[in-house]
Amino acid sequence: MKSRIEGTEVFISKILRIGVIVSAIVIGFGLILLFATGKSGYPGSFFPTSLGDIFSGLAVLKPYALILTGLLILIITPVFRVGISIFTFLKEKDYMYVIITTIVFVILVISFLLGKVE
């Protein structure tokens, strides 16, 4: 039983590490484009605040959209870890932690959905 828990923890740590590395690479690429072009890719003082705006800017490699995508990856990485923990606790049949972790996961998702940028 202990080896399965350790295996899961190693898997989760790899996922977290990969998320941070991918985020850093995407942000770095966006910064390189920003400094190379001298432009954010958006007119004036417009900054994308919705996922649709970010992903449409990402499709055409706008520097600011790349930087924001890297930040989104960085934010989503620990949320992904909480989601994986739900299944880990289910495997271990630790239902109290399944409930607690599910509540935390739902709160995180709701906070992202209700978040407002002004």
Q: What ranges do the domains of the chain cover?
A: 1-116
Task: Tell me how far apart the alpha carbons of residues 25 and 106 are, in angstroms, rounded to a whole number.
Answer: 29
Residue by residue, pLDDT tens for the chain (118 residues) are 556 667 777 888 888 899 999 999 999 999 999 899 888 777 777 778 778 888 888 888 888 889 999 999 998 888 888 988 898 888 888 899 999 999 999 999 888 888 765 5
Closest to 60 measured CA to CA, from 37, 45, 41, 44: 41
DSSP code string of 22-85 = HHHHHHHHHHHHHHHHSS-SSSTT----SHHHHHHHHHTT-HHHHHHHHHHHHHHHHHHHHHHH
- Are 72 and 27 in contact, with CB atoms under 8 Å apart? no
